[in-house]
Amino acid sequence: MGPFVFEAPANRVVFAAGAVAQLADEVDRLGAKRALVLVTPGHEADGRRICDLLAARACGVVATARVHVPSEIAAGAIASARELRADCTIGYGGGSTIGLGKAIALELGVPQLAVPTTYSGSEMTAVWGTTANGVKRTGRDPRVLPRTVIYDPQLTLGLPARVTGASGLNALAHAAEALYAPNASPITTLLGEEAIRALAAALPRAVRDGGHLAARTDALYGAYLAGYVLGTTAMGLHHQVCHALGGAFDLPHAELHALALPHVLRFNASAAPDALAQIARALGAADAPAHLRALIAELGLPVSLAELGVPHAGLAAVAAYVARQPYPNPRPIDEASVLRMFESMFTGELPERTT
């Protein structure tokens, strides 16, 4: 084992079935008196239920959260938080809602108490992002890390099967990339392997039977650990190609992350044999990329860029873009090798293992 640096996220985590009942106590613990509840459109009833739990501590509901935090949505929510004199936000939902709470925290310094209901892991990171004119701006700031996170698996029982599978594999992808990150440590490796093990075992059960509380509990535990390592390591080629392809073709975030994972792992295998062996061990598989490719199909998720409607003719320009600004990655990349990987992602056919 070599020397390492590890910076743990400084927040409080409460994990239990039914833990949302402790919400008011957790707000009191933060010393807050006026909590603004954030949800996505269509989840206003959830917002009202959260206000009931908060009683006099609730100051309003903003139900405008949208994927990738459009800047006008962020501006509206910041204005509401100011007007209502909110001294904390409750981000109740997935990465979109928690992202909106982060935008408020960044601008006003108002802390967020996150109640995640998907597996995005955003609640464990200090990374924020907003989108204007199709361009996503991201940054890292300790103020946006939610101060308290309440994980209540009961709240995920109604998560649709497709979101369950895609969001869960998105989380698994974060854990996998953490294992070969340049700033990986024995701590992130332990947590990353455990995240992969928990997610891979739980997701098929949670997708088959959304009401399976034990499967939901294990999946949410895996998502917590995956978010933890996402927040403490630098992501590589997988994160980069998903960012580039998603931005170029406006693709569904979690589905894209899921289908790209086996291909990126196959690409990186020769340069990161230890990480690939750790992933295989966590999956209980001989060949991690092939196992994940099969898992994605088993979960009923798209396996090819063609299925997502990506035009084949557009791939070369994205490969060139990716090659121009590489992220830290175990295997050096160039335009031709990225394009070859895109070709296999396009058809969904995973190349054979070479070692």
Token pair of 188, please? 């992130």
Cβ at position 49, least distance to ligand NAD in Å: 13
Amino acid letter for position 124: M
Binding mask 23-52 for ligand NAD (x = CB under 6 A): -----------------x--x---------
Of 253, 263, 291, 293, the one binding ligand NAD (CB under 6 A) is 253
Cβ at position 164, least distance to ligand NAD in Å: 9
Cβ at position 347, least distance to ligand NAD in Å: 25
What are the strands of the beta sheet with 148-151, ordered from one edge? 12-15, 148-151, 112-116, 88-93, 35-38, 58-62
Q: Is 121 in the site for ligand NAD (CB under 6 A)?
A: yes
Q: Is 95 in the site for ligand NAD (CB under 6 A)?
A: yes
Residue nearest to ligand NAD (CB): 95
| Other CB atoms within 10 A of residue 311 CB | 11
Q: What's the CA gap between 285 and 179, in Å, rounded?
A: 17
Q: What's the burial of 133, exposed, middle or buried (CB within 10 Å: 0-12/13-18/19+)? A: exposed
Cβ at position 225, least distance to ligand NAD in Å: 14
Q: What's the burial of 294, exposed, middle or buried (CB within 10 Å: 0-12/13-18/19+)? A: middle
Q: What's the CA gap between 241 and 90, in Å, rounded?
A: 32
Q: Find the binding residues for ligand NAD in span 135-194 (CB under 6 A).
A: 155-156, 158-159, 163, 167
Cβ at position 282, least distance to ligand NAD in Å: 20
- Residue 70 per-residue DSSP state: B
> Which residue number, 165 or 262, has a Cβ lying nearer to ligand NAD?
165
Q: What is the DSSP string of 100-134?
A: HHHHHHHHH---EEEEE-SS--GGG--EEEEEETT
Q: How many residues bind ligand NAD (CB under 6 A)?
A: 26
Cβ at position 174, least distance to ligand NAD in Å: 7
Q: Where does this chain bind ligand NAD (CB under 6 A)? A: 40, 43, 67-68, 93-97, 99, 117-118, 120-122, 125, 127, 129, 155-156, 158-159, 163, 167, 253-254
